[in-house]
Chain A
Amino acid sequence: MITKAQKKSQIKVITGNAAAAIAAKLARPDVVAAYPITPQTEIIEQISQFHANGEMDCELITVEGENSAMNAVMAASLAGGRVFTATSSWGLVFMYDAILAAAGARAPIVMVNVNRETPGIIAVSSGQQDMISTRDAGWIFLIAEDCQEVLDLVLQAYRLAEDYDIQVPVMVHYDGFYLSYLSEGVDVPFQEDVDQFLSVLKTQPERTKLVPGGKLGCGSHGILLGYLELRHKHVSAMERAKAKFEQIDKEYEEIFGRSYGGLVEEYRMDDADAVLVGSGSMCGTIKAVIDEKRAAGVKVGLLKLRMYRPFPSEAMIKALKGKKAIGVVDRSLCFGFKGGPIYTELKAFETKLGGSKMISFIDGIANTDITKINVATMIDTTCDLAAGKDVREVTWVSYPEAQEEGGL
């Protein structure tokens, strides 16, 4: 992150969840649907408080479940409103049909998903499996590393979702527990600056709205070529979202003085032989370990994914091309594949990477801590690969038994 001279701001020590709630408040939504689930509950608690004490002038719908939450914000969004909701894990999958419908209807919803393991094995623990389980829903996915980026991404998400050329719902993801409950200093922008940042949307053509009595359907039926047309338009909008997000990141910097590099953030990549690819809160720990390794002369860098859907393949190829070895760290599983999901997806572009070798690390699932020791192990293994040594394709870093059980 590049921080220029501070403009108008105030540092507050708040959690990732509070940062999300404050960002939602600053975006002035018309409708918020609220339903609690660990580790997201604090967001809707704070929004409820803002609403109760008059700081937030929105319709707050306390729904009876997440499926209703998504349907409520989808309807409000299609009626032209700015909307917000937040969920996690079981809540996200309980609204799965509505998530698909909202994307198909091109409702520009902004939702926070606090990453947590999904149903399957019951666990109240961190992991990106919920994100991975909805990756093909047709939403744009953004991922935050720290509390500041949570706030910044929620604001940027409105510019992206509601942009006339995009009109695709955006989900902002961050790690449950490790980030949702992390308290740290956050530069909270003033309302007038946020209003200015979002005012660009008012200068654009008005998006199509559902109006009572109006003879217009939305997200109803598409058959044959009609279906193909809508799907192709959606896919094209996802592609456009990449350049649009880069532009939004730059405009954000002009107003707030913070830029993250757009789709991906490169950390000490310039002369790196070995690179870790990561996302979310693990990146902070990885940066700290990279600094220690660099001090010892190890040429290692980090490529952080800030956007995961659409998959920023061009930006990743540009950053990774010619590196000797790439270790992709996944905080989730890709059932049916040995390696993690992001590894598997990047693997599709292997021939464009100029001969870089790739390996997969699985870590941080079910709250297992991605420790500095684990990160050092991943860096050492990736450096071994860069040096031409034979290493495993897939390593479950916190579960050495996986390497002994065979099968991988």
Chain B
Amino acid sequence: MSEVRFHGRGGQGVVTTSKILANAFARTGQFGASFPMFGFERRGAPVTAFGRFSDKPVREKTQIYNPDIIVVLDPSQRNSAAVFLGLLPGGMMLLNDSDNTINVSHDNLRKLGIINANKIAQEEIGLSIPNTVVVGAFARMSGLLDIEPCCEALQDYFSGKKLAANIVCARRGFEEVELFDL
């Protein structure tokens, strides 16, 4: 089982990112479960979400304290202690950032993916909502699933032109993420 923790802010689609990935895993015959943790729903407030992806049914309904992978949608949180808390050795991090230089470090971090998801989202859907780009980038960096089930999963959240544009976002995320071995 891979345990993934997502960090971002209300409005960036953090929760949807985790949902789409759980959906995509289910489409591959595997199992995915995700949930966010927040109090009142507010745009701009920090949001954390948790994702578990496994070849067996996921039963745990508890937050994730020792993630294998961390996904950061809000670049301002990239060096926050809360983001790296409990990261397991051999850990991966996917970062949405306009700056593609390696400016994060953690003893347990072995792989880093950087994607300028806001820019791609702005170009494709006209909004700086990075989530679907991040979904594609996650598939590439983690190697846990292919891009096709991610694109199929988008059908459950978008339709028409928005669906088409968000599929382009996910595919560009998959293609354009820059990967660094640390």
Tally of B interface residues using CB under 8 Å: 25
Shortest Cβ gap from A221 to chain B (Å): 43
Q: Is the CB of A177 within 8 A of B22?
A: no
B62–A372 CB distance below 8 A: yes
Does A228 interact with chain B (Cβ within 8 Å)? Answer: no
CA distance A178 to B33 in the complex (A): 11
Q: Which chain B positions have C-beta within 8 A of A11? A: 26
Say whether B22 contacts A370, CB under 8 Å.
no
Closest to B50 in A: A182
Q: Which of A115-131 contact B (CB under 8 A)?
A: 124-125
In the complex, chain B residues whose CB is within 8 Å of the CB of A288 = 59-60
A284 with B61: in contact, given A13-B19, A13-B23, A183-B22 (CB under 8 Å)? Answer: yes
Contacts of A175 in B (CB 8 A): 61
Q: Please tell me if the beta carbons of A285 and B65 are within 8 angstroms of each other in the complex.
A: no
Whether B59 pairs with A284 at a CB distance below 8 angstroms is yes
Contact in complex: A183, B40 (CB < 8 Å): no
Task: Return the contact of A184 from the options B22, B36, B39, B156 (Cβ within 8 A).
Answer: B22
Q: Which residues of A lie under 8 Å from residue B37 when comparing CB positions?
A: 177, 367
Shortest Cβ gap from A91 to chain B (Å): 15
User: Knowing A13-B26, A13-B156, A125-B39 touch, does A185 contact B59 (C-beta < 8 A)?
Assistant: no
Please state if A371 and B62 are interface contacts (CB–CB under 8 Å). Answer: yes
Distance A371 CA – B64 CA, assembled complex (angstroms): 9
Q: How far is the CB of A152 from chain B (nearest CB, A)?
A: 15
Does B130 interact with chain A (Cβ within 8 Å)?
no
Instruction: Provide the residues of chain B in CB contact with A146, threshold 8 Å.
Output: 59, 61
- Inter-chain CA distance A287–B61, complex, in Å, is 11
Q: Which residues of B contact A182 (CB under 8 A)?
A: 33-35, 61
- Interface membership of B67, Cβ < 8 A: no
A230 to B179, CA, bound (A): 71
CB nearest neighbor in B for A289: B60
Residues of chain A contacted by B63 (CB below 8 angstroms): 369, 371
For residue B58, CB closer than 8 A to chain A, the reply is yes
A369 touches B39 (CB 8 A): no
Q: How far is the CB of B127 from chain A (nearest CB, A)?
A: 22
A179 neighbours in B (Cβ, 8 Å): 61
Say whether B150 faces chain A, with CB atoms less than 8 Å apart: no
Known: A124-B39, A177-B37. A183 touches B61 (CB 8 A): no
Kindly state the separation between the CA atoms of A179 and B60 in the bound complex, as whole angstroms: 11
Q: How many A-B contacts are there with CB distance less than 8 Å?
A: 71
Q: Which residues in window 5-56 of B have CB below 8 A to A?
A: 15, 18-19, 22-23, 26, 31-37, 39-41
Residues in chain A near residue B60, CB distance under 8 A = 284-285, 288, 372
B40 touches A38 (CB 8 A): yes
What residue in chain B is nearest A125 (Cβ atoms)? B39
Cα A15 to Cα B65 with chains together (Å): 22
CA distance A367 to B40 in the complex (A): 13
Asked whether, in the complex, the Cβ of A13 is within 8 Å of the Cβ of B39, the reply is: no
Are A183's CB and B34's CB within 8 A? yes
Interfacial residues of chain B within 100-120, with CB under 8 A of chain A in the complex: none
Query: Which residues of A lie under 8 Å from residue B156 when comparing CB positions?
Result: 12-13
Q: Which of A15, A182, A281 has the most CB of B within 10 A?
A: A182
CB atoms of A177 and B35 under 8 A apart? yes
A378 to chain B, nearest CB (A): 13
Q: Does A181 contact B (CB under 8 A)?
A: yes
- Residue A282 at the chain B interface, CB threshold 8 Å: yes
Q: Tell me the complex Cα distance, A94–B59, Å.
A: 34
Question: Smallest distance from the beta carbon of A291 to chain B beta carbons, Å?
Answer: 9
Q: How far is the CA of A182 from the CA of B52 in the complex (A)?
A: 11
CA distance A370 to B65 in the complex (A): 12
User: With a CB–CB cut-off of 8 A, which chain B residues contact A281?
Assistant: 61
Complex contacts, B61 vs chain A, CB 8 Å: 146, 175, 178-179, 182, 281-282, 284-285
Query: Are the CB atoms of A181 and B59 closer together than 8 Å?
Result: no
A124 engages B32 (CB within 8 Å): no
**B59 engages A285 (CB within 8 Å):** yes
CB-CB under 8 A from A287, the residues of chain B are 59
Give the most central of B36, B41, B59: most A CB within 10 Å: B59
Q: By the criterion CB–CB under 8 Å, are A285 and B62 in contact? A: yes
A285 to B63, CA, bound (A): 10
**Contact (Cβ within 8 A) A181 B15:** yes
A183, B62: Cβ atoms under 8 Å?
no
The answer to whether A38 touches B41 (Cβ under 8 A) is yes
Min distance, Cβ B26 to any Cβ of chain A, angstroms: 4
- Determine the residue in chain B with the shortest Cβ distance to A175: B61
Q: List 11 A-B contacts (CB under 8 A).
A: A13-B22, A125-B39, A178-B62, A181-B36, A183-B32, A183-B33, A184-B58, A284-B60, A285-B60, A288-B60, A371-B65
Question: Nearest 7 CB-CB pairs, A to B?
Answer: A284-B59, A13-B23, A281-B61, A184-B33, A182-B35, A124-B39, A185-B26
Additional 18 contacts, C-beta under 8 A, given A178-B61, A181-B36, A184-B26: A11-B26, A13-B22, A15-B19, A38-B40, A124-B39, A179-B61, A183-B18, A184-B31, A184-B33, A184-B34, A185-B26, A185-B31, A185-B32, A284-B59, A285-B59, A285-B60, A288-B59, A372-B60
Binding site for A on B (CB under 8 A): 15, 18-19, 22-23, 26, 31-37, 39-41, 58-63, 65, 153, 156
